[in-house]
Amino acid sequence: MTAVQRPANRGRGRPRSTEHDDAILDAAVSLMREVGYARMSMEAVAAAAGVSKPTLYLRYAGKAELVVAAHERVRVGDAPAPTGDLRADLVAQLRHLHDVFARLGMSVIGVCLTEEESLPDLIAALRARSLEPGRQMMRDAIARAVHQGALSDGADAETAIEMAIGAYYARYLAGRPFDQGWPERVADATLRALGAPPA
């Protein structure tokens, strides 16, 4: 309907402010985390970003497009480097998972579930940007262990990964605290689920 997302722009005219670009996306992510999609108003995003509302609509066709774009920019952040030791890697990755959701906010996961039908692109973006990369890291770590002979082949890695990551959601939903030893406990249980020999 309206011009969107940097059309052509052969250097003519006033350049689009990249500061505004960033401020808008940051504001959108922040507000989503704080109040969710439905209660996030374009007015509030504009105000938080320090721009006017039409500046939002110059960039995104509507609220839905804005929040999807905002979350496409969300990054998992510095993933922990693999150490070669599966248990250590799992612990690091579970700690990292905790950090990611602490920054992103579990409320965004909530929005994905609530708006699954009205906003399918949002959960798609989250899967591609955050969820799947996290799983892949675990997959890689397990593959390395198998390659090292530390783990017998044929283990049900996908299920183990689902359980390890899911433990986070389940604990969060149950309202239990993520105490110091949580990553270790889950890592150990995951190793057992993978059929790793006792340490």
Residues lying near its own copies in the complex (CB under 8 A) are found at 13, 35-39, 52, 106-107, 109-116, 118, 123, 127, 131-132, 135, 156, 159-171, 173-175, 185-186, 188-190, 192-195
Taking the CB of residue 30, how many other CB atoms lie within 10 A of it? 17
Q: How far is the CB of 56 from DNA (least distance, A)?
A: 7
Choose the contact partner of 51 out of its own copies, DNA, none; CB within 5 to 8 A by kind: DNA
Which residues of the chain form contacts with DNA (CB under 7 A)? Answer: 1-3, 6, 8-9, 12-17, 20, 39-44, 50-55, 57-59, 62-64
Choose the contact partner of 177 out of its own copies, DNA, none; CB within 5 to 8 A by kind: none
Residues 180 and 83: beta-carbon distance below 8 Å: no
Choose the contact partner of 103 out of its own copies, DNA, none; CB within 5 to 8 A by kind: none
**In the block, residue with structure tokens 């090292």:** 148
Nearer to its own copies, 88 or 163 (CB): 163
**Coil, strand or helix: which one is 181?**
coil
Name which of 158, 24, 178, 23 is nearest 100 in CA terms. Answer: 178
Name which of 80, 77, 132, 122 is nearest 103 in CA terms. Answer: 77
Nearer to DNA, 57 or 168 (CB): 57
Tokens, residue 163: 């359980």
Taking the CB of residue 71, how many other CB atoms lie within 10 A of it? 25
Nearer to DNA, 10 or 174 (CB): 10
